[in-house]
Each structure stands twice: as structure tokens, then as C-alpha cells.
Amino acid sequence: MSVDTKASAASGEVWLIRHGETEWSRSGQHTGRTDIALTDHGRAQARALAKPLALQRFDAVLASPMSRAIETCQLAGLSDEMMVSADLHEWDYGIYEGRTTVDIRKTEPDWSVWHSLIPHGESLTQVEARARGVVASLLAMLAQSSSARRIAVFSHAHFLRVLAGCWIGNSAALGAHLYLDTATLSVLGFDRENRAIRRWNSQPEGCA
């Protein structure tokens, strides 16, 4: 990136929006590639996102292919601009899909998605590589104009946490320290030329 391009990108923002509640997010079951629909409460949460999002102008709107992310985007009022990206899929949990951490730890006491092997799924290194690719794409999109740009990203808890970790420190492992509720708004941006988290896990009124 040239100096001018870096300066242009550094004036932009990436808004991260986690999808609304599903039955599995409510129960704590790991939901990677299973296409679980929003609950009625999740739809109400998604509709509550519309008001704060309507106050912003987005130059691009990206969404995971999962119906829970797409429906959240639709109910939040940004579906007309939505582009679906497979890179925004949730972490592939392999053999742990549909199971809670409490259940897994009955046989694997120290298990954690952040440091344990995930047979038939994605390793931390693989998720990090995917997220770094997304960060590079976002930076390129932000640099396409001399004026400030804003991008909305509708995705999933673990992947958005990984994405934020890669944004601020090129490390998926940093995501372990970033808790994220359903139907929340977070903003990635810059502090001068440094990539920074400007806002995290903000719940709009009516989203609780």
C-alpha cells in the first residue's frame, strides 16, 4: 500500500454485526456450518439493529452465507446492498458441532476452541488465515476512496472475534479475550495509522 492509500484506509470503519439469537446460541451449542434459523427473539433483536444502522451510510454490506446472518441483515434494513461472502462463515467446529463446552469437557476437561485440536474442522491457524484474508480485503475496500468509507459485516461470534483479533494484532488468539453477544454492534477502525477497536459488543435498545 502506498502512503496515500494507507491514509485513505485509515479514515474508514468496519462495523461488525453478530446475528440474532438462535436456539443453539441460547443453549450454548457450537454452531458452525449447521444452518440454524433465528428465534422469534432473534428476529426482534435484528429489527432493533435497524435504527442505529440507519444513522450510518455504508459503502458495502457483507454477510455470511448462513441464514441467521442473512436474515439479520435483512431485518436490520441493509439487504438491498448485501453481498454474501463464504469467507465470513463461522468457525468449522468439526466433531464438536452442536455440542456445548460443558458437555465436551466431561470427557476432555481442558478443551477450548482456542487451543484444542478440532478433528474434521478448522484449526486456529486455519481460521486465522481466513480472517487475515478478510482483513486484507476490507483494507483494500476502505482504500478505494479518498473520503472515509464504512463497511458492514454480518457474521458469527467466534469468527468476528477472530477477525477483530487479526485486525488489531494479526492474531486469532486475541479473540479469546473479546466476548460478543448476539445482535451486537462493534466497530473496527483506526487510532491515527494504527488499527484499533473503536467500539465493542454494543447492544442497541431493544436487543437484550
Binding region: 31-32, 68
Reduced to 3 states, what is the DSSP secondary structure of residue 63?
strand
Reduced to 3 states, what is the DSSP secondary structure of residue 198?
strand
The number of beta carbons lying within 10 Å of the beta carbon of residue 74 is 18
Binding positions for substrate:
31-32, 68
The DSSP element (H or E) to which 18 belongs, if any, is strand 13-18
d(CA 171, CA 195): 13
d(CA 15, CA 154): 8
By CB neighbour count within 10 A (0-12 exposed, 13-18 middle, 19+ buried), where does 134 fall?
buried
Catalytically annotated residue among 19, 30, 89, 158: 19
Catalytically annotated residue among 13, 21, 71, 90: 90
Q: Is 158 in the active site?
A: no
The C-alpha cell of 138 is what? 476490507
d(CA 35, CA 32): 8
The number of beta carbons lying within 10 Å of the beta carbon of residue 111 is 18
Q: Is 177 in the active site?
A: no
Which are the catalytic amino acids? 19, 90
